[in-house]
Amino acid sequence: MTQKPVMHSAHWGAFHAERSGDQLLIEPFGGDPDPSPLLQNFRHALNHPARVARPMIRRGWLENGPGPDRRRGADEYVAVSWEEASHRVALELKRVGEAYGPAGIFGGSYGWSSAGRFHHAQSQVHRFLNTTLGGYVRSVNSYSSGAASVLLPHIVGDMNEVARRGVSWEEIAGHSEVVLAFGGLALKNAQVASGGLSEHTERGFMQRAAQRGTRFISVSPLKSDLPEEAQGEWLALRPGTDAAFILGLLAVLITEGLTDEAFLARYCVGWPQMVAYIRGEEDGVVRDAPWAAAICGVSSDLIRQFARQLHGKRVLVTVAHALQRAEHGEQPVWLGLVLAAALGQPGLPGGGYTYALGALGHYGKHHNLVSFPSLPQGKNGIDRFIPVARIADMLLNPGTRFDYNGRQLTYPHIRLAYWAGGNPFHHHQDLARLRQAFCQLDTFIVHESVWTASARHADIVLPATMTLEREDIGGAPTDRHLIAMQPVAQPYAEARDDYTIFRDLARQLGREEAFSEGRDARGWLQHLYHQLQEKLAAHQVQTPDFNQFWQQGILALPQVKDGGRMINAFRADPDAAPLPTAGGKIEIFSATIASFGYDNCPGHPVWREPQQKPSADYPFWLIANQPATRLHSQLDFGDFSQSGKRGGREVCSLNSEDAAARAIADGDIIELYNDRGHVLASARLTDTVMPGVVQLPTGAWYDPVDATAARPLCRHGNPNVLTLDIGTSSLAQGCSGQITVVQVRKFAGEVTPVQAFIPPL
């Protein structure tokens, strides 16, 4: 293996890597104006003790065979040879396939895995199951934007147009007067983009806009959701009350005659229904500024002033992913659009509505002229699916019916789940319930490079290479650089890449040719690159051949400036360029959604009381948001992630006044708890978190003192022990794990060291 620096890429940036003894020296790509510190998480990753070295089988499964088992998560593992492991996997797949067909296999395998487009683990699982077993039960939508991705097509257009091709950062820097960001614009989120992000430009754009006079307003319980460069204002609302706040703003605009009635009449359907709802004509409840103020914890004067200041300005409204990752998460997304419409802004330069700006590095960027081809998935022979965050419901309730986007579906009876490239025991809510759900399976197979909590709940764990140990091509539709990802090291111990593992299994199932089409990994990279060349050649763009691309390590791709293309054309001529909604206009009222008859998501946006709210037992809102020191749970043992912890434990931020009332000092170990479990963390006292709120990011590897406990205690700080596992509403059934309610106290029990990174026996 070469010792020279080689080019590589991660979801959080392109870089050069060079081995130096036991560690890696990481040099960010020179063209990146603001590289992410997440890159340093790779430094000691290659040989970290948390790596999975050999194929492992859970003792209970090995001795008793497949079947529901309550020991999952608390059993021993037995090392076996690759030959034995893959033989047993092939036999089990054959057994389940023959007995139950593809409807008995869950292959949703949600997860971000790594940036390379060929070794994209989820695509590999899907292709494997389609080409060898005729298909699988899939999952739809994402944990990121489950509610918005179902709602937006009904009311304005799909995620691609409203988020990725919404108002561009360039336009904002040049034209916006007010950027009203519900959920803020934290750079920790924009530093990441699936497939890679070679240039981090958000900080620079915010600086430019602020210098020109753009007023950034972050509405969030956390001050840190807006970077200093934006020189913005912080408005703290109670978590989960943004929908009520926007209704209050709309009430003021209506009462004071500040709405753009011409825009609403020409470009929208349903404004009269919205007005009737706000005035209380539907149910006698007037949603005015005092009504909103009581819910949101601000004064009605503030709401009035706020609304007036928006009038007559070029206003851009954006609503972060976080807001819709909550019960009734559809509502703030919808109301953000209604507010922008009431102000007459959609389709104006630097104005209107853009969903989730800053939530990912893809948003507000230009697009490549053509996109890099993805690995073909083959054909799934069945059409059975769940909204991705309903996994525990599915495993616990086979045969039960549930609502989704106007349809009634039935949960299949899953016998085998196959996972690669994701960590459900990181990403899902109510981890004790999730364990119960996974205990129902006959068999749970996981490919992982490290001993995550998901690997520790699997029956068969196959050691996967890390991205650094294989060649691939990194690219995203919004990144103008394609990266030839060169291997930095040989595979760790007995690790194999997902493709090699699946190819071997496909051979044992007699389907190797169907899966591999006769190509090895390099052959697939060349094939996909040639497809890209052909797409570009159709636009008269010439590209170097594969070998030259591989040698130079990077290829600049032509881009198009297509930000706002859908909404701009619509504004110019709504008859010639109608929106892809039922009525061709912005749907403030959706007859389609109304026809579904869902009380938790009716035909126009509403405020609905959530079932979780602070009480005497659990008086705090917990915000379980994205971490700043790692991507989700990836490389949680990495240098940068560890630098954010204290004594190896995750840090929970809380307001100094709340801490004083509980005699909690900075650095104390505190316990957050509710009906679902207990979590330890190190207390950080601050005034940048509003009173009544505590913040604990996601991603600390789940480390239960007793995995089988009904209400487990995680000594590391994983907030998904505490979050409630319910869908956002009957419409989208999205993940609602962003907020929950808890009690907080100084921990009085025995403190044991974090053991999440020590492999199981």
Minimum CB–partner distance for residue 594 and ligand PGD (Å): 29
Q: Which is it for strands 693-695 and 651-655: parallel, antiparallel or unpaired?
A: antiparallel
- Strand partners of residue 446: 419, 461
Binding residue for ligand PGD, selected from 220, 449, 478, 733, defined by CB under 6 A? 449
- Cβ proximity to ligand PGD: between 498 and 650 the closer is 498
Q: According to the binding rule CB under 6 A, does residue 244 interact with ligand PGD?
A: no
Neighbours of 207 (CB within 10 A): 16
Closer CB to ligand PGD, 259 or 318, in the complex = 318
Q: Is 111 in the site for ligand PGD (CB under 6 A)?
A: yes
Of 380 and 718, which has the nearer Cβ to ligand PGD?
718
Residues 413-432 that bind ligand PGD (CB under 6 A): 420-423, 426-427
What are the structure tokens assigned to 717, written together? 């700080």
Question: Of the ranges 114-122, 146-154, 278-286, 744-752, which one interacts with ligand PGD (CB under 6 A)?
Answer: 114-122
First to last CA, the chain: 31
113 near ligand PGD, judged by CB under 6 A: yes
Query: Is residue 452 near ligand PGD by the rule CB under 6 A?
Result: yes
| Binding window for ligand PGD (CB under 6 A); candidates: 108-116, 159-167, 291-299, 511-519 | 108-116
* CB of 160 vs ligand PGD, minimal distance in Å: 17
Please state the closest distance from residue 659 (CB atom) to ligand PGD, in A.
Answer: 22
**Residue of 12, 61, 77, 110 with catalytic role:** 110
Q: How far is the CB of 207 from ligand PGD (least distance, A)?
A: 27
**Beta pairing partners, 430:** none
DSSP 8-state symbol, 517: T
Please tell me which residue in 61, 77, 112, 701 is annotated as part of the active site. Answer: 112
What is the closest distance, in whole angstroms, from the C-beta atom of residue 371 to ligand PGD in the complex? 21
Residue 355: CB minimum distance to ligand PGD, A: 14
**Whole-number minimum distance, CB 631 to ligand PGD, in Å?**
6
Q: Which residues in the 730-759 window bind ligand PGD by CB under 6 A?
A: 737-738
112 vs 291, which CB is nearer to ligand PGD?
112
- Asked if 677 is part of the footprint of ligand PGD (rule: CB under 6 A), the reply reads no
SS3 percent helix, strand, coil of the chain, rounded to 5, is: 35, 20, 50
Backbone angle region of 631, left / alpha / beta, with phi > 0 → left and psi within -120 to 50 → alpha: beta
Q: Give the Cα separation of 623 and 588 in Å (integer).
A: 29
In this structure, are residues 321 and 184 in contact, taking their beta carbons and an 8 Å threshold? no
Min dist CB 200 to ligand PGD, Å, is 19
Give the range of 265-273, 308-316, 592-600, 624-632 binding ligand PGD by CB under 6 A: 624-632
- What is the nearest approach in angstroms of ligand PGD to the Cβ of residue 26? 17
Q: Which is nearer to ligand PGD, 77 or 112 (CB)?
A: 112
40 binds ligand PGD (CB under 6 A): no
Tokens of 365: 């960027």
Binders of ligand PGD among residues 328 to 387 (CB under 6 A) are none
Scan residues 137-156 and list those touching ligand PGD (CB under 6 A): 143-144
Region from 19-27, 442-450, 562-570, 642-650 binding ligand PGD, contact rule CB under 6 A = 442-450
Instruction: Indicate if 112 belongs to the active site.
Output: yes
Distance CA 146, CA 154 (A): 14
Q: Residue 406 and residue 334: Cα distance in Å, rounded? A: 18
Answer for which of 202, 330, 403, 448 binds ligand PGD (CB under 6 A) is: 448
What's the distance, CA 267 to chain centroid?
A: 32
Residue 34 corresponds to which amino acid? D
Residue 82 annotated as catalytic: no
* Least Å from the CB of residue 612 to ligand PGD: 13
* Measured distance CA(387)–CA(402) in Å, rounded: 10
- Are the beta carbons of 328 and 608 closer than 8 angstroms? yes
d(CA 1, CA 18): 11
Task: Assess 487 for contact with ligand PGD (CB under 6 A).
Answer: no
Cα torsion at 523, 524, 526, 527 (round to 10°)?
A: 110
Stretch that binds ligand PGD, among 48-56, 80-88, 620-628, 672-680 (CB under 6 A): 620-628
Residue found by looking up tokens 């001993």 in the block: 451
Which residues 6+ apart lie within 8 Å of 146 measured at CB? 324, 325, 329, 387, 388, 389, 728, 732, 733, 734, 735
Using CB under 6 A as the binding rule, whether residue 194 contacts ligand PGD is answered as no
For residue 93, how many C-alpha atoms fall within 13 Å in the half-sphere facing its CB? 29
Instruction: Using CB under 6 A, pick the residue from 632, 645, 678, 684 that binds ligand PGD.
Output: 632
Closest residue by Cα to residue 635 from 5, 113, 8? 113
Using the contact rule CB under 6 A, the part of the chain among 113-121, 272-280, 303-311, 554-562 near ligand PGD is: 113-121
Q: Which two tokens stand for residue 165?
A: 């091709």
Binding flag, residue 471, ligand PGD (CB under 6 A): no
Strand 138-140, strand 385-387: pairing:
parallel
Give the one residue of 109, 123, 653, 720 binding ligand PGD; rule: CB under 6 A: 720
On whether the CB atoms of residues 345 and 94 are closer than 8 A, the answer is no
Nearest distance from C-beta of residue 660 to ligand PGD, angstroms: 27
Residues in Cβ contact with 383 at an 8 Å cutoff, skipping those fewer than 6 apart? none
List, in sequence order, every beta strand (DSSP E) within 385-459.
385-387, 401-404, 407-410, 416-420, 443-448
Confirm if 191 and 35 have CB atoms less than 8 A apart. no
Site string (495-534) toward ligand PGD, x via CB under 6 A? ---x------------------------------------
**Residue 273, Cβ density class (10 Å: 0-12 exposed, 13-18 middle, ≥19 buried):** middle
Interatomic CA distance for residues 438 and 415, integer angstroms:
10
Report if residue 168 touches ligand PGD, rule: CB under 6 A: no
Q: Which positions lie near ligand PGD, rule CB under 6 A?
A: 111-114, 119, 121, 143-144, 325, 420-423, 426-427, 447-450, 452, 464, 467, 498, 624-626, 631-634, 698, 719-720, 723, 737-738
Enumerate the active-site residues. 110, 112
